Structure 1
Amino acid sequence: MTRELPTESFEVFQDARDALGMRGLTAIFRGHSKEQLYKWARPVREDLENGAQPNPIDWLCRMFGTLAEQGARHIAESGVQIVAGSIGMRAGYPEAVTPDAPTVEAECLDDYPALQAFHEAVLGKQPQLVVNDRLDAAIRELRETAAKAQEG
């Protein structure tokens, strides 16, 4: 039976198997055996001795996390947006922001490059994913300025 909301990657595979059937899943993951698909639907942390393996969602999460840790967060964010876009969604950002400039004035100055990059993407007719990325960056900068102003 499909869960109301899967919270672990293996649960997504279990629910996808229930929703699409094994035939539908094997059609999507051509080249992977049914046995492999079943392994992806097992909790990895608790079932390593029984053949559970990290699934593609786990690998994407690991890649995105590593990119962010190594200073390439923008690449990870693009990847997340691509995944979200596959179902007509956009990923959001946490509401809490931490200002990265020492003064309100410096935060205000930080806003301009992000806003300019957004405008250049729009006027340059960049792909929507790029425009949305620049928009999100500008909004993030504006939120930092607002947070710094609120600090006093």
Structure 2
Amino acid sequence: MKSKFLSNILLTLIWVFLTGGYEFNNFLFGFILSFIILWILSGADDKNSKKYFKIIPRIISFIFFFLWELTKANIQVAYEVSTPKFNMKPGIVAVPLDAKTDLEITLLANLITLTPGTLALDVSTDRSVLYIHAMYVEDKQVFIADIKTGFEKRLLEILR
């Protein structure tokens, strides 16, 4: 997988140097073009090659998902701060984890904490539950489902 990524970066840099355009759009286009070329040339290669061509679109999708969630949370918190009415329903929720490794749990907790209005507080000693404080907890089951089908599911698709 590392060799495919390095090949992708190398082809991207060759594209950028040949075209002479050092703007972000040209880097992005070169990366996408080299990704497609490598995908076509790989054919029925080994399993690691297939994993690379699955993981890059998932990472890109995850970045857009995170930016969307970040934007929604910022708007919600900004609205709360700028209006005189108190709309919050704060609470602490115990979210059962499918994430098992330290890396998975740490990344999940950090992504939740980076989103305004939520804060990862603690992980249980057996690492099966993540405790989260949230500004808006209407229904705990809906909140848990949002975390599990949103951040956790997408993160585990990338890491596993």
- With CA pairs under 8 Å and 6+ residues apart, which has the higher RCO, 1 or 2? 2
TM-score > 0.5 by shorter chain: no
TM-score (norm 1): 0.29
Greater strand content: 2
TM-score (norm 2): 0.28
